[in-house]
Amino acid sequence: MTEHRIAILGLAGLLLACQPKPPAAAPPTDVTAEIQAVGTTFGAAMNAGDAAGIANLYTTDAQLLPPNAPMATGRAEIEAVWRGMIDAARPGVTLTTVEAVGMDSMAVEVGRYVLTDSTGAAFDEGKYMVWWRRTADGWRLHRDIWNSDRPAAGTAAAPAEAK
């Protein structure tokens, strides 16, 4: 019986060794310039108060994960979130890509944002991460999450970290 097990294991090993190797994945590429171009369009839409224009920069099945609020799924819910933010504060936004790396039809961006009021004074700044998808219409936000560097109201400031 032991001989049969050894023979079966040997045959299984031989079969596995003869399997073709999967094709190598394309190495990650820097897609910063492409992502920044969409970010510029996003910023222009935000500065113009165009929530529908912002929502159209997302995939149809995108998810927005805003801080201290429920997740929004799909363009209609995402537009409603941005409309609420625009109506509440009419913020201006500056987005700065720190890194954007893509593979095939997907990219991940890490960046920083600054929100300003109508006088240009900053009232929030923080960081964000976006999972992008390349579509027939170009790069679109697929998952979008951000959070403030400022302490929550009523809490003590967190220790300073290296930026």
Number of domains comprising the chain: 1
Residue 161 domain-assigned? no
pLDDT in tens, 93-110: 999 999 999 998 999 999
Is the pLDDT score of 16 beyond 90? no
In a domain, 159, yes or no: no
What SS3 string covers the chain? CHHHHHHHHHHHHHHHHHCCCCCCCCCCEECHHHHHHHHHHHHHHHHHCCHHHHHCCEEEEEEEECCCCCCEEHHHHHHHHHHHHHHHHCCEEEEEEEEEEEECCEEEEEEEEEEECCCCCEEEEEEEEEEEEEECCEEEEEEEEEEECCCCCCCCCCCCCCC
Which tens digit of pLDDT belongs to each residue from 20-47? 666 666 788 889 999 999 999 999 999 9
Residue 111 lies in a domain: yes
